[in-house]
Amino acid sequence: MAENPSKYYVTTPIYYVNDKPHIGHSYTTILADVLANYHRLLDVPTHFLTGTDEHGQKVQQAADANGITPQEQCDQTVVRFQELWKRLEIKNDDFIRTTEPRHKKVVQETLQELFDKDEIYKAEYEGWYCVGCERFFTEKDLVEGNCPECSRKVDSIVESNYFFRMGKYQDWLIDYIETHPDFIQPAFRANETLGFLKTKTLQDLCISRPKSRLSWGIELPFDTDFVTYVWFDALINYISAVGYKSDEEQFKKWWPCSTHLIGKDILTTHTVYWPTMLKAMNVEMPQSIFAHGWWLTGRTKMSKSLGNVVDPMAMIDTYGVDAFRYFLIAEMTLGQDASFTEEAFVKRYNADLANDLGNVTNRVLNMISRYCDDKMPAPAAADAGFDTTLEDGLWKDAVAAAEQMGPMIGNMKLDSSVAMVMTAVRKINVYLQERAPWSLAKQEGSEAEVAHCLYTAAECLRVCAALLYPVMPEKMRALRTALGMADATPHLGKLAEFGVLVPGSAISQPGALFPRIEAKKVDEASSLVKDQQKKPAAKAKKQKVEVPNNGLITFDQVMNVKLQTAVVLEASTIEGADKLLKLQVDLGDEKRQLVAGIALHYTPEELVGKTIVVVANLKPAKLRGVKSEGMLLAASLGDTLKLVTVEGDLGPGAAVK
């Protein structure tokens, strides 16, 4: 981000109210909050919208299961989201519910307008319908007769419905995405959308549901026998909430949206349905749609049925709001999947927050208390008469961190930005160790030097606290107050000026900002990952292979394994197997199919063209019913996995020895 934008409008998906919120919902909302905070602190006019998606089959089914009306289901569940956002210190400017009149009115007016313009027409539909995904599919779309998205059973359907002429925008959309590289982010998600648009014919979108099948929705203004398809209704929230068709001035102020934050699960609806809808409505496109990855429990997708969903409320109760927010932002590289485990949480908390940030805060404040009588000391004048090289260097590093923050946020490198601030924090610790003010203080006439040392350390801490404020507002407010600052809210624009802390102002001890988590507490903590422990340790115990000679194998045994280079020709996902990818590879003299458990680490597109190493003489086997004729090699450490590849341009069929 070269310059600050003139305004910033950020949205989260609106969440279904069929169930209470979990860590995934929390993540997108915290992410939006951090970005909104950051822009607000730069004095950029900011609008942050979140809300709930209250219509459709999912909500109706949940209501039926709970024996209440859909409206009661919405009213009961929306509170859980709102309460959680409050606890998580989420400062959204608006919260939209799609059952609100302000939204319904805009949806109906939009439908009428599109119907009048012949962008919507009625037709008989014959095909397949997936209740879980609430989507229609043609015969061709089905995978082994099941839903191509979720592999569940689909129902055969023949009915009249209303359709939006989405198909006619196919070429326009391809061109728009290609000429607006920032429109869909990260770039590989734009390629994913383009891949789909360039290989399939874009169908018109069915935007109605007959009331005989589903009554919980917004009634079509031109045919009261139908309600609106939930996605057509939901996407409009992004404009209905900011005055579309109701408050022109407000709409002009905020639209186009700066960033729609979404999870990768709802890419198509946001990068195909939404842009074509806006185009038909003659409304400007949003500036960007950013899809983040999934939070996994360990390596497994979180799902209610697996019982491994992380409950955000339990995390906050045990470890505090700011630590939870910090972990989520620091741990996930935006765009990729990330793994949530309590062990990783505690490790990062103790290392970054308790050790580094907590420690440096205590040291600086304790020493100011001891050597400067609880008052902020004064910095030295330019001609101090002593060497200030170390202090000048420390301050330069803090300024560099402040300057890099903007570009990092602009490029959605939130995890790196937090890591960068933590490096600056560690530098203060290293500096204190080197400068040793406790020894300096023992020397006669060293008061000015000690004062300059502690003042500089405190100034650097002020900068770090301000940069971390969007992520940990509560703790960073406490830290600023402890540094004697009257204004608990920082202004990021003025960060890099030296001398903001006021000499003579009273400092205070904030107590332990981040008390260390002892291993005992982790053991005692209730299972935050629900029911995870109840799962059997391993479904199938691997057969123990006898390896003689204390684990050493002979040269001959190594030579028995035929390793060869292969080039990936095609790669695709396997229905119902989240971790597996199916690859077609060229082994030089033959082509083969491999199934590999790398789907959590590589997208199919990333793999095509790569030269990999495979075990070529492995007995073929079936994985999830799909034939695999070999095994590829990959290196893994913790949650990271990288393919073994060969350097240079060797091509397929080379022996690897």
Which of the residues 254 through 293 are near ligand MSP (CB under 6 A)?
262-263, 265-266
- In the chain, the amino acid numbered 107 is V
- What string of H, E and C letters represents the secondary structure of 145-160? CECCCCCCECEEEEEE
Q: Which is nearer to ligand MSP, 324 or 395 (CB)?
A: 324
Tokens coding 189: 């998600």
Taking residues 31 to 70 in sequence order and writing x for each that binds ligand MSP by CB under 6 A, - otherwise, the string is ----------------------x-----------------
Cα–Cα nearest to 459, from 420, 507, 411: 507
The verdict on 128 binding ligand MSP (CB under 6 A) reads no
Tokens coding 317: 């109760």
Q: How far apart are CA 255 and CA 9, in angstroms?
A: 8
Q: Which is nearer to ligand MSP, 14 or 107 (CB)?
A: 14
The verdict on 234 binding ligand MSP (CB under 6 A) reads yes
* Cis peptide upstream of residue 312 (ω within 30 degrees of 0): no
Q: Which is nearer to ligand MSP, 277 or 568 (CB)?
A: 277
Quote the least distance from Cβ 78 to ligand MSP, whole Å: 12
Q: Which stretch binds ligand MSP (CB under 6 A): 7-15, 319-327, 484-492, 522-530?
A: 7-15
Listed in sequence order, the DSSP H helices in 373-472 are 389-410, 414-435, 437-440, 447-468
Q: Are 185 and 290 in contact (CB under 8 A)?
A: yes
Ramachandran bin of 198, using left for φ above 0, alpha for ψ from -120 to 50, beta for the remaining angles:
alpha
Please state the length of the chain.
Answer: 657
Q: Are 129 and 154 in contact (CB under 8 A)?
A: yes
Q: Which is nearer to ligand MSP, 182 or 265 (CB)?
A: 265
Q: Which stretch binds ligand MSP (CB under 6 A): 77-85, 105-113, 234-242, 427-435?
A: 234-242
Cα–Cα nearest to 320, from 473, 424, 470, 93: 473
For tokens 């990952």, name the residue: 529
Q: Which is nearer to ligand MSP, 100 or 474 (CB)?
A: 100
Q: Give the DSSP H/E element, type plus range, for residue 23.
A: helix 23-41
Q: Are 260 and 492 in contact (CB under 8 A)?
A: no
Q: How far apart are CA 370 and CA 378, in angstroms?
A: 15
Quote the least distance from Cβ 528 to ligand MSP, whole Å: 15
Count of residues interacting with ligand MSP (CB under 6 A): 19
The verdict on 340 binding ligand MSP (CB under 6 A) reads no
Q: Can you tell me whether residue 111 is helix, strand or coil?
A: helix
Quote the least distance from Cβ 312 to ligand MSP, whole Å: 11
- CB-based closest residue to ligand MSP: 24
Quote the least distance from Cβ 372 to ligand MSP, whole Å: 47
Quote the least distance from Cβ 229 to ligand MSP, whole Å: 12
b/e per residue 98-107 (b: at least 16 CB within 10 A) = bbbeebbebb
Of positions 15, 163, 229, 273, contacts ligand MSP by CB under 6 A: 15
The verdict on 24 binding ligand MSP (CB under 6 A) reads yes
Quote the least distance from Cβ 118 to ligand MSP, whole Å: 25
Quote the least distance from Cβ 236 to ligand MSP, whole Å: 8
The verdict on 27 binding ligand MSP (CB under 6 A) reads yes
Of positions 8, 16, 95, 469, contacts ligand MSP by CB under 6 A: 16
Q: Are 310 and 324 in contact (CB under 8 A)?
A: no
Of positions 302, 323, 409, 612, contacts ligand MSP by CB under 6 A: 302
Q: Which is nearer to ligand MSP, 29 or 350 (CB)?
A: 29
Listed in sequence order, the DSSP H helices in 12-100 are 23-41, 57-66, 70-87
Of positions 36, 235, 594, 598, contacts ligand MSP by CB under 6 A: 235
Which residues contact ligand MSP by CB under 6 A?
13-16, 24-25, 27-28, 53, 234-235, 237, 262-263, 265-266, 294-295, 302
